[in-house]
Amino acid sequence: MWQVYFKELTELMRDKKTLIFVILLPILIFPVLFGVMGLVLSTTTSKAMQEEHRYVIVNADQAPQFAEALFYHKNFRRIESDLAEPSQLIAAIRAGDFDMALVIPADFKQRQSAVEQSEWQLIYNQSSQLDFMFQYFNELMRKFTEDLQMTNLSQLGVDPERLQAILKPVEVRRIDTADTRENIGEKIGAFIAYILIPICLMGASYPAIDMGAGEKERGTLETLLICPVSRTAIVLGKFLTVLTTGLATTLITVVSLGVWTAVISSFAGLDVVANVMSSISITDLLLIFLMLLPISAIFASLLLAISIYAKTFKEAQNYMSPLSFIVLMPLVAAILPGVNLTTTTAMIPLTNVALAIKELIKGTVDYGLLMMIFASTVVLAGALVAFCVHWFQQEKVLFR
């Protein structure tokens, strides 16, 4: 078994594609991708915050103070228009004539004098995910509303200094018992698992295809089978090689992301992120790696079994493509709000490991549940390894 293992590992290390998938991608490509995504998001957000929005205001004379505040805001530019009907304004916005229309009722002053509520209409395209236009407008409206409240209270004979107590008699101040690590871990823990587990699968995919379907195409599988080595030793040697590459990819990715996070945090001044990363102990990192060990064994068994069954390299790739989607579904479930690590979720494959990694990053892990997850995952991995060994014994599988 070990002779087969070292033989396969040596051949993989001589393959440039293996070095690219196992070493180069985790070190350079993934951090670069994350950096580009962050740069694009930062640039898009900055551009959206500085964008100038063209607007039309109807019946501006009814609220001159607000119209003036909107006019002098740096993110708004007034457009003169004779349109007044909402349907006309909607059509003009869709045509790109301006970005926003504010319709103030023609009887707004009269209603204010009578201390009656009035309804304004703000017309704009709400499909944008970065809706800074409404945010800026809302800030102006809040200040304008506060001024109106003061005026109305004075008309009703109420002391304006007691405005806050009248509008909100009870103020609730929340005191968070969670520390910074727990708060950030809750937000990013599941995403880290969402990155690490597919990387385990990706790191094992190419070597598994090459050692099964690849050997069939090259005609070297028959040569290996006539060697004085049992088929069990052969398949276990191949399995250990695939497992090694999957874990190596994951380990290199973790180290790479840790280094890049520390570098980016120091340059960007993200002290909170740096402090959280530094609060994760070596024990926590070892436990995360330990949780990934049986997961990598599961992937190695499945991928090797598929590769052994496939006739060609391309056929193996076609079989493995759906496996990526199957793996992602339980990981998406772990990201959903309200999904926590319990006795029930601890028995769901992949979801349990993702939730365990999140709890380890938060620093709130239940070690009893952690042992349950590890034990159940090891049992599943053992069953799949046994299946892979049995699969390799079948002549109809090897020589389809």
Which is more confidently placed, 13 or 304? 304
- Residue range 349-388, pLDDT digits in tens: 888 888 888 888 887 888 889 999 999 999 999 999 898 8
pLDDT averaged over every residue in the chain: 81
Domain count, the chain: 2
Q: What is the pLDDT at residue 101? A: 94
For residue 85, the enclosing domain spans 54-167
Which is more confidently placed, 127 or 264? 127
> What is the arithmetic mean of pLDDT over 320-331?
85
> What is the arithmetic mean of pLDDT over 6-34?
68
> Is residue 333 located within the same domain as residue 207?
yes
- Residue range 48-71, pLDDT digits in tens: 888 899 999 999 999 999 999 999
> Is residue 206 located within the same domain as residue 285?
yes
Least confident of 93-107, 216-230, 295-309, 339-353: 216-230
Which stretch, 170-184, 195-209, 292-306, 334-348, has highest mean pLDDT? 292-306
Residue 51 half-sphere exposure toward CB, CA atoms < 13 A: 18
> Is residue 116 located within the same domain as residue 237?
no
Q: Is residue 29 predicted with pLDDT exceeding 70?
A: no
Q: What is the pTM of this model?
A: 0.66
> Is residue 211 located within the same domain as residue 353?
yes
Q: Could you tell me if residue 175 is inside a domain?
A: no
Which stretch, 116-125, 177-186, 219-228, 322-331, has highest mean pLDDT? 116-125
> Is residue 134 located within the same domain as residue 218?
no
Least confident of 110-119, 186-195, 290-299, 363-372: 186-195
> What is the arithmetic mean of pLDDT over 262-278?
56
Q: Which of 123, 141, 167 is the last residue of a domain?
A: 167
> Is residue 338 located within the same domain as residue 211?
yes
Q: Is residue 318 predicted with pLDDT exceeding 80?
A: yes
**Residue 276 binned pLDDT confidence (cut-offs 50, 70, 90):** low
> Is residue 268 located within the same domain as residue 135?
no
> Is residue 357 located within the same domain as residue 217?
yes
Q: What is the pLDDT at residue 35? A: 66
> Is residue 145 located within the same domain as residue 192?
no
Which is more confidently placed, 55 or 209? 55
> Is residue 189 located within the same domain as residue 311?
yes
Q: What is the pLDDT at residue 176? A: 67
Question: Biggest alpha carbon distance in the chain?
Answer: 102
Q: What is the pLDDT at residue 31? A: 63
Q: What is the pLDDT at residue 278? A: 58
- CATH code, 138: 3.40.190
**Residue 149 binned pLDDT confidence (cut-offs 50, 70, 90):** confident
Q: What is the pLDDT at residue 270? A: 53
- Residue range 219-265, pLDDT digits in tens: 777 777 777 778 788 888 888 888 888 888 877 777 776 666 666 55
**Residue 104 binned pLDDT confidence (cut-offs 50, 70, 90):** very high
Asked if 104 and 123 count as a contact pair (C-beta separation under 8 A), the reply is no
